[in-house]
Amino acid sequence: MNTKGRALKILLLSDSHGHLDDRILAHAAEADEVWHAGDVGSLDVVDRLATSSKMLRGVYGNIDDAAMRRTWPLNQRFTAGGLRVWITHIAGPAGRLPKDIKAGLKADPVDLLVCGHSHILRVGQDSSGVLCMNPGACGLHGFHKVRTMLRFTVCDGKVENLSVIELGARGALRP
């Protein structure tokens, strides 16, 4: 698909831990691509997201079972809208990336590194200029206080129009 000059609408989520609600699915339906950074929780989540979205990409996380690990990879690298992307579940914040992640970035550079795992929403750049995003957690389980996702556009290799979607308190189905 030729996307030169066309903005791709991206929904980025992580750590659903088996939970999807109608608001998440509505945001997925509005996006050109949905990216899930692991700890999906079940194949039902994958099926429901795939049905609601135009394109779904993702990785498995540390809580995902063998069936999930057969469905999605540990790491996924691709280019979307001219942006080189690496999604993995565990990577750490921009200033404190583990050695294996740094080595992977050096060997095969990307523009955007996406991770989940911490349940903490973070966006920042590492020392080499790679944009790092963790959308927080959209699921009901964990220590996070507010369930979050990220929405942005990608056009000609650049991230634009980044916004946080707050889904309410952890454990609450309504804000």
Strands 146-155, 158-169: pairing kind: antiparallel
Q: How far apart are CA 159 and CA 131, in angstroms?
A: 9
Q: Is the pLDDT of residue 1 over 60?
A: no
List strand residue ranges (DSSP E) for the chain, in order: 8-13, 33-36, 56-58, 75-80, 83-88, 112-114, 121-125, 131-135, 146-155, 158-169
Specify the pTM: 0.92
pLDDT for the residue numbered 93: 75
Q: pLDDT tens for residues 95-122?
A: 788 889 889 989 999 999 999 999 999 9
Q: How far apart are CA 80 and CA 64, in angstroms?
A: 26
Q: Is the pLDDT of residue 173 over 90?
A: no
Greatest pairwise CA separation for the chain in angstroms: 44
Q: pLDDT tens for residues 46-74?
A: 999 999 999 999 999 999 999 999 999 99
Domains, the chain, with CATH or none: 8-169 (3.60.21.10)
Cβ atoms of residues 109 and 100 within 8 Å: no
